[in-house]
Structure 1
Amino acid sequence: MTDDIRALAGGFPALSPQDWRPLAEKALRGADFEETLSRTTVDGIDRGPVFFDRPEGAHAVDAAPRDIHLPWGMRQTLVEASPEAANAAALADLMGGVSELELRLDPEGRFGLKANDVDLMDAALKGVDLTLAPVHLDSLGGQGHHAHAFLTLMARRRVDGEQIEGGLGISPVERAARQGVALDDQCFPKAIEIAELAHAAFPNLKVFRADAALAFEAGGSEVQELAMMAASAATYIRLALKAGLGADAAARSVEARLVADTDIHLTIAKLRAARRIFARIAESFGASDQARRLSLHATTAHRMLSARDPWTNLIRNACAGFAAAAGGADAITVRPLTEAIGRPTPFARRVARNLHILLAEESHLGKVTDPAAGSYLHESLADALAQKAWALFQEIEAKGGLASALSSEWFQSEIAKSRRAHLNRYEAGTDQILGVTQYADPDPRAVETDGSWPDDDLPACALAPIRFAAQFEEAAQ
């Protein structure tokens, strides 16, 4: 008996498309082959129906072995307005199995935590051991101010010899685009100053966030999201180098945030493509092999959520969470099922964090380092995404980098085209939204929230987050 499973294929010749297609056409019983089976993404990437080989080098993804007990960082976002409420939610999340926290900081407390000084931030994190539970910042305004306050808090709590991880979430380019304002001339010098301070005191801290989720949540395509990640990462590695960090430390100072949605196979391919792209960028800056591995945070999509029937978001989150885990994300955030309508209750937070436990401990997704390796589908899609995203990244760089591409609104106009293409597919019925455009419940059961979001939304801009279901929900009322 052999230990080599490949021996099982002995005597069976490899099949080609010419062998398979006649059989498929016979099974279709006269239906058009291309119309029935062939699909493409919004970016024009071929999705099959079947792949018979892998592109050369497409399977070369640097996926580090996972911790058997904690295969990915289970990161939960705190959106409570007061430090007291945020602290109660943080402690409940940590006791319930979450391993990382993210503070969504809002100077006015409308869409997140109002903690504009170190004492308020300290109150929000009372009882949280920063050496055991990494904390990441997501500031809706005043990134530099919040970063300084957080560094002060970590210094206040630090014990000699202990290493503190987490992230400051510094992303001046994306924040300016999200708020629809011009990039301040002082943003980059401030970011360089923070990088210097953070690296000197806390070398394991992630300083910058390549927040490409912004492009996807505005309706962009997978290629546009990957290209934005690449351009953002290149921008922040350059800033880190200006701050005096070496090439390895500069590459490690960046965490990328991408989005996982219900398209499981495309999400897996996208995350694998992101690693290849970042590794090439880090290499070009002189980073060593060990420093070229991307720190990847995946969050389940906001744009896929339903407000009319929030219970269907449980299915969407399960699909997206599975894709993020199978795609090899280092940290995953599952959005509460109520996010489209209001702040989450303890129940909604518990359901979100329990999905991590189901994926890790019942589905055992963390048992395999790279479950998509060897899949011709995922490797072919990942290669195509990487190739197209790299070409778009080069185009962004030729326009002067991400800041220039956004300030000229060229990149926003490209994303608007993809957003329209997605909506056209939903309107034509080519793509469906479960519970909204397909199998809609005429009398959906209400979900309790901990208060609705403010009526006045975040500042309107070309990269504001959207929900594809919104226009169909309005039409159904």
Structure 2
Amino acid sequence: MNNSLFDEFQQVTKDDWVRQAIKDLKGKDFEKELVSKTLDGIQVQPFYAKEDLEGLDLVKSYQNQVNPKSHVPGLPPRNWSNVFSVSVKDEKSDNREILDALQNGSDALLLHLEGDENLDDLLKGVGLEYIQIFLQPVGDALKVAKLFVQWLIKNNLLPEGIHGALLFDFYAELLVAKRPIDRIVSEAKQLLEIFKPFKGFKVFSINYAFYHNAGASTVQELSFATGAYIDLLDTLTESGLNAHEIFEKTVLHTAIGSSYFEEVSKLRAMRILFHQLGLLYGVNIHPEEIFIFSETSSWSKSPFDVNTNMLRNTTETMSAILGGTSALLVRPHDEVNGQENSFSKRMARNISNILREESYMDKVVDPVAGSYYLESMTFEILKMVKMKLEEIEVKGGWSQLYFNHSIQREVKAVRKSRQESILEGAKAKIGSNKYRLNEEESTAFASKELSEQEWMLLASRETILLESSKTLKS
């Protein structure tokens, strides 16, 4: 057929749609009525059209480069691992919980370790060759790394069979506990040496999640975490390390909030940003090889009507998958109250399974590629992050801003504004300041505002002021 039925319809441009919207508004201001803004001031249009993709060649060049093709025949084109997290308390009982999770949907582990644990008991019966394993040090990263590698050697586990990452960001740790910066080079080199034989195990982490859970905006999150990584890169390369070795040993660690489309765009921007940064250092890692570890946000969760957190977990998980995550940790919905149990942990891991097995989100490599809205949002985020990084460099780099507390003040200002908007009801949060269950109206929460020193930046929650308020209103 040579004739197209669409030829009978007149072409409609975005300007035509805007004119029609203005006409329907009957004198009301288009920008004021229909255009909203993100925390960073990025304009969100009421609709997007093909014209919005003009000039976005950089973003379009990264479409469908989300994960490497599997070498195993029959696997779907889109893959992400379903991570189960364990804060070790009793190795033997934790082991039973780990085995149960791995037998019921999880295929990756995140272990929070201090470095004194009995890994023989903790990982008994766990086939590390068949899963991914992530380590999050509670304190001394070197101690944890040595414990883990010594255990691998003792159990004759081959380096090529171990895949995962050490989730430890040297610079993010400086915002929690003071330590000499000059020790970073020595410790980073030791970590790199310890894990050198383990080609599939990442050593360096860019901890975007740290800034997210402290209340930062998207642009702050990407800019400050990347700025810290640039400081690390410059310090390590000046001491003789190879930039390529550092990049290929780096994992991107992020938390996913409830701003659905913005979070999808954030992950897509994150991959592009890391790849472009590599090119500046003469390193060309394939975009699909960039590993992104995502976790659902603790900032977005509320102790009021905790079941609502399951819905937040679901949309956050969808954002992570559509954005191109490589590994995904869904936190239990009642973790915010310290009441997580076998039910909530099962619900958490099943969200990822349902989206894979029943919603078929693994059947298309990059389902949002070409979206007028998301591609535009990704580009705007990248543009603002670039400007912010240039500003950081002009002011002396991340370390200089850390020492004069500029980073801390800037993030705390945004955090306070976001928390006040919840307290005052300017932003609706279902189950917290809007439609809260009657039986929870009089519930007393002991939560208080964070007690931070000026140099510190700690994790918080969007509802923290509401939790500590004596005048809770439904």
Q: Contact (CA 8 Å) 2:420, 2:465: kept in 1 or not? A: no
- Provide the residue aligned with 1:188 in structure 2: 185
| Alpha carbons 1:191, 1:239 under 8 Å: kept | no
**Equivalent position to 1:470, from 458, 464, 467:** 464
Whether contact under 8 Å (1:192, 1:239) holds in the other structure is no
Give the Cα separation in 1 of the matches to 2:283 and 2:381.
24
Does the 8 A contact of 1:300 with 1:334 survive in 2?
yes
Q: What is aligned with 1:50?
A: 47
Using a 3 Å threshold, how does the CA distance of structure 1 residues 311 and 286 change in structure 2: closer, same or farther?
same
Query: Does residue 280 of structure 1 match 2:276?
Result: yes
> What amino acid is aligned across from residue 169 of structure 2 in structure 1?
S
String of CA shifts for 1:356-381, please: whole Å, max 9, x gaps: 11111111112121122111111111
Q: Deviations over 1:72-114 (max 9, x none)?
A: 0111211242222322221111111111111123x4xxxxxxx
Q: Structure 1 residues 400 and 416 mapped into 2: Cα distance closer, same or farther (>3 Å)? A: same
Counterpart code for 1:311 = N
Q: Which residue of 1 aligns with 2:61?
A: 60
1:389-414, Cα deviation, whole Å (9 max, x unpaired): 12212233344433333233211111
* Matching residue of 1:111: none
CA separation of 1:131 and 1:405: change in aligned 2, threshold 3 A: farther
* Distance (whole Å) between structure 1 residues aligned to residue 465 and residue 18 of structure 2: 40
- Which whole-Å CA distance do the structure 2 matches of 1:25 and 1:137 have between them? 54
TM-score (norm 2): 0.87
| Pairing 1:271–2:267 present | yes
Please give the residue correspondences for 1:81-230 in structure 2 after superposition, counting only pairs within 5 Å: 81-105=89-113, 107=114, 116-117=115-116, 120-160=118-158, 162-179=160-177, 181-199=178-196, 201-230=197-226
User: Residue deviations 1:398-438, cap 9 Å, x none?
Assistant: 44433333233211111112213323433454422111111
Letter in 1 for 2:146: H
Contact 2:447–2:464 (CA under 8 A) maintained in structure 1? no
Q: Is 2:306 the counterpart of 1:298?
A: no
Give aligned-pair identity as a percent.
26
The alpha carbon displacement at 1:21 in A equals: 2.2
Indicate conservation of the 8 Å contact 1:273/1:386, yes or no: yes
SS at match of 1:192: helix
Q: Where does the alignment leave 5 or more consecutive residues of structure 2 unmatched?
A: none
Give SS of 1:186's match: helix
- Matches for 1:390-429 after TM superposition, within 5 Å: 390-427=386-423, 429=425
**Cα distance in 1 between the residues matched to 2:120 and 2:206:** 26
CA contact (8 A) 2:66 2:288 kept: no
Listed as ranges, the gaps of 5+ residues in structure 1 are 108-115, 446-452
Paired residues in the alignment total 456
User: Could you say if the C-alpha distance between residues 366 and 147 of structure 1 is closer, same or farther in structure 2, counting changes exceeding 3 Å?
Assistant: same
Q: Is the CA contact (8 Å cut-off) linking 1:248 and 1:291 kept in structure 2?
A: no
Deviations 1:128-165 (A, max 9, x none): 11111221111231111111111212222334584211
User: Is the 2:295–2:331 Cα contact (8 Å) retained in structure 1?
Assistant: yes
TM-score normalised according to structure 1 size:
0.87
CA 346–283 in structure 1, closer or farther in 2 if over 3 Å, else same: same
Q: How far apart, in 1, do the equivalents of 2:361 and 2:109 lie?
A: 22
Q: Which amino acid aligns with 2:257?
A: D
Question: How many angstroms apart in 2 are the aligned matches of 1:33 and 1:66?
Answer: 45
Question: 1:233: Cα distance to partner?
Answer: 3.5
SS state at 2:130 partner: coil
Q: For each residue in 1:268-288, what CA deviation from the matched residue of structure 2 results, as whole angstroms up to 9, or x when unmatched?
A: 111111111101111112213
What is the CA–CA distance in structure 2 between the aligned matches of 1:83 and 1:157, rounded to whole Å?
Answer: 17
**Could you tell which deviates more after superposition, 290-299 or 255-264?**
290-299
* Distance change (3 Å), C-alpha of 1:191 and 1:11: farther
**Counterpart-to-counterpart distance in 1, 2:431 and 2:242:** 51
Give the Cα–Cα distance (whole angstroms) in 2 for the partners of residues 14 and 78 of structure 1. 56
Contact 1:217 1:465 in 2 (8 A): yes
Q: Are the equivalent residues in 1 in contact too, given 2:82–2:107 (CA < 8 A)?
A: yes
Q: After superposing the two structures, state which structure 1 stretch, 425-434 or 223-232, moved more.
A: 425-434
Q: Which residue of 1 aligns with 2:12?
A: 15
Secondary structure, in 3 states, of the residue corresponding to 2:39? coil
1:169 corresponds to which letter in structure 2?
Answer: L
Amino acid aligned to 2:56: E
